A and B are shown apart, each in its own frame.
Chain A
Amino acid sequence: MALSASVNPERYRTARAFCLTSAVWFGAAASFGMIGAGYLIAPDFMANIGFIHFGKTRPVHVNLVLFGFVTPGLLAAAFYYVPRLLRTDLYSEKLGVFTAVLWNITLPAAVISLGMGYTQGREYAELPWLVDILIAILFALVVFNIIMTIRQRREKILYVSVWYVSAAVVLTGLTYSLGNVIWQPSTGALLGIPDAILLWFYGHNVFGLLLTPMGLAVAYYVIPRATRSPLYSHTLSLIGFWSLIVVYTHIGTHHLLQVPVPTYLKTIAIVDSVAMVIPVMVVLINLWYTVKGKLGEIHADIGAKFVFTGTIYYFFVNIQGSMMSLPIVQRVTHFNNWVVGHAHIGVLGFAGMTALGGIYYILPKITGKPLYSKFLADLQYWLILIGITGFAIVLTIVGLIQGQAWINGETIYRVLPEIHPYYVSRAMLGVIILAGAYIGIYNVIRSLYFNSGETS
């Protein structure tokens, strides 16, 4: 295969930069998560270090996972497949690399400000105004680069992945600014109950309009390519895309079912949360039928293996999510570790797995050499798969213990000792995930810069 001949070192610099960004910040984000898990077992272990105590570590972990690991990982793939699918070059590699550099300035700024207590105090919208502005600029730069690439395309038809990724960056730029109340620099918040409504509209759309469409875009690219089969159905692609944008945007209020917000908002949120079955199953039927009879090819390509596993977790997280939106279920699951498990299934199991898959799928193509180590990539796959599956099981059990105990009148203090062993096993699984993240950093850096392997 004359791959190397087609790889000009100037091409795909943006994609490379984002691969590296994602890999490194995955390690950082997982480390912060690990510290948090440690606090839940032994709160005095790292006592009185203000910068990293639990209340700081947790938002740093969440923001780094979302904006340091998963988003850049999914963007790395996008900066490869968007030009490929449009039969052109990226509009500006310079701008792309600049975006990546600015991204890596923004993330430490986020860590430092949260560590120092500069926070808006709103989950998923913690980052202070200056960092918000940086992130809005970053999304604007990505939007500009992608739109201009689309404008200079030599392929008339836009493939599904291009729909998803352009919608994702445009809509997230807007909802991020809206959700962070960017016109109110001092507080970044509204007053009273409307603040909660806006916050969860935005908070849920981090998944609905950013991670999910960008993850699906990668899946729509990698799965047909790796299996060398045409996409199963154009009609299903259309239904899946439009129904995702319509349905997902409605459901944020399901975080507020037990809070005094207007009933019609809750009703819409519940109905649409259940209706999420449509965009999810339509996409999965489309992707899984594309793979039909060709699982061997998925298995043979480590990138596709990550991505395909991501689609399976996409199924789980959404079926679970629809269930959790039912008030009778939420009476047990709300406020406890069940939700933490759900978030990890979605963000690591689906979006994170898919981002890693995207990175490993494009790395040989953007470097012109095979991966530095397929073995390490495979090892990372298994470590993360075992880690996230364990998380799903352990945190769901903890959630059921807490939820059932509370609903029967046990107090928090009575339940805490009961869940301690589960926190311990969660931290042990965290070590496995952390090991996977560090192996990934090594493998990605070696593949990008110190790869002595033969050019393929």
Chain B
Amino acid sequence: MRMTPVTILVGVLAILAAVVFVMVFWPYTHRDMTPSEIYRTRSPGEESGRVIYIQNGCVYCHSQSIRTIDWGPGAERIAQAGDYVGDKPILLGSQRTGVDLSQEGGEHPDDWHIAHFIKPRYTRPNSIMPPFRWLGMQKIKTLTQYIQSLGYKQADHRMQRQRYWKQESIKAYEAGPEYNVKWLAEQVPAGWRNIPNPYPTTPAGMQRGRKNYQDFCIGCHGPIGDGMGPAQPWIYPPPLNFTILKGRQISGGIIYYQIMNGITGTAMPYFKRELESQKIWEVGDYVAVFFINQSDANADPRGIDAAWEP
């Protein structure tokens, strides 16, 4: 084959034209832009937040692309083409150094996000996200508006729930510690309230509980459990001071349930995705032993002794 300039140029251009036709042009002309059932348009504020998201390269660490194999936040809904019909550019992302944000809207209340942007480790001690305090409060709030819209109608639903429970929890907090603790305990289903922590207090268990406390809880509740972690100034109602719980009938079951399910409306997230059962019980016992100074670990009713118990 004689490779003349004309052969090369005409050849490669013809190939490129054919490939662009099949791989880009054809799918473009046959695109399906039907919105999915969760889709709605974004408000101007949410659009401005999205611009901040793009400007600051959030997409390099956060995907917006839930796959069939995912477990993390947002995994309840597999992404559909119709979820992206308002996205220009589309922000699928190619890396997950941070969590996927497809359904982030309403996962946390606004104050959690603001504390998180001020310094991500305030609310997530293990986070390696750089702080965004330099954006200024105005931009942080706009960005939060966008984050709270991720998931569209499903996010709106979650946000409604956040707002309702925020009111309730503020009411309870402002009614004083006595009422607040009672209110918090009452939100836990009755069965759970009567369950003592089934794990005995052991040095090893305390050690593990402490590690997970530091990895997940310390930013809000603080190193001595008084609710004065670095996130405290940004959060309202403020993080719970564990030291007020003594003598107020707080069972291991109540602590477990609140860690597992979180307290929607407050900055307290749920940890059932992060921590398996034993880890939650041990964090709970760590809190009970060290901060409340009153633990029901391994107390009656205990049922049949577990096989591993000494």
Contacts and interface: CB of A to CB of B under 8 A. Distances in A.
Interface string B63-102: 1010111111100000111001111111111111111000
Given A47-B130, A166-B9, A414 B92 contact: no
Interface stretch (A171-179, A219-227, A353-361, A427-435): A171-179
A242 B8 CA distance: 9
Contact of A50 (B71, B92, B126, B135): B135
A296 interface: no
B13 interface: yes
Given A56-B57, A192-B31, A158 B130 contact: no
A59 B84 CA distance: 23
B190 interface: no
A261 B215 CA distance: 38
A313 interface: no
B18 to A, nearest CB: 9
B31 A194 contact: yes
Given A55-B58, A194-B31, A201-B24, A260 B79 contact: yes
Query: In the complex, which of the residues B8, B31, B57 has the most CB atoms of chain A within 10 Å of its own CB atom?
Result: B57
B131 interface: yes
Contact of A44 (B73, B131, B216): B131
A121 B27 contact: no
Nearest to B5: A150
A186 to B, nearest CB: 10
Main SS of chain A's interface residues?
Answer: helix
A255 B12 CA distance: 24
Contacts of A191: 33, 85-88
A121 B274 contact: no
Given A411-B274, A413-B126, A249 B23 contact: yes
B16 A255 contact: no
Given A39-B130, A121-B54, A189-B88, A331 B63 contact: no
Contacts of A411: 71-73, 99, 273-274
Contacts of A187: 88-89
B5 A147 contact: yes
Contacts of A246: 15, 19
Contact of B130 (A53, A178, A196, A268): A53
Interface in A21-55: 39-40, 43-44, 47-50, 53-55
A170 B81 contact: no
Contact of A171 (B12, B54, B63, B79): B12
A404 to B, nearest CB: 12
Contacts of A252: 23
Contact of A166 (B8, B15, B24): B8
Interface string A331-356: 10011110110000000000000000
B71 A409 contact: yes
A119 B55 contact: yes
B85 A178 contact: no
Given A150-B5, A193-B81, A413 B57 contact: no
B244 interface: no
Interface of B: 1, 3-5, 8-9, 11-13, 15-16, 19-20, 22-24, 27-28, 30-31, 33, 54-61, 63, 65, 67-73, 79-81, 84-99, 119-121, 124, 126-135, 215-216, 273-274
Given A47-B130, A170-B9, A192-B31, 12 more contacts: A43-B129, A44-B131, A54-B60, A54-B61, A55-B130, A119-B54, A189-B90, A196-B84, A250-B23, A253-B23, A256-B92, A335-B94
6 contacts: A43-B127, A58-B57, A121-B91, A171-B12, A258-B68, A411-B273
Interface of A: 39-40, 43-44, 47-50, 53-56, 58-59, 117-123, 147, 150-151, 157-158, 163, 166-167, 170-171, 174-175, 178, 187-199, 201, 238, 242, 245-246, 249-250, 252-253, 255-256, 258-262, 265, 268, 331, 334-337, 339-340, 402, 406-407, 409-414, 416-417
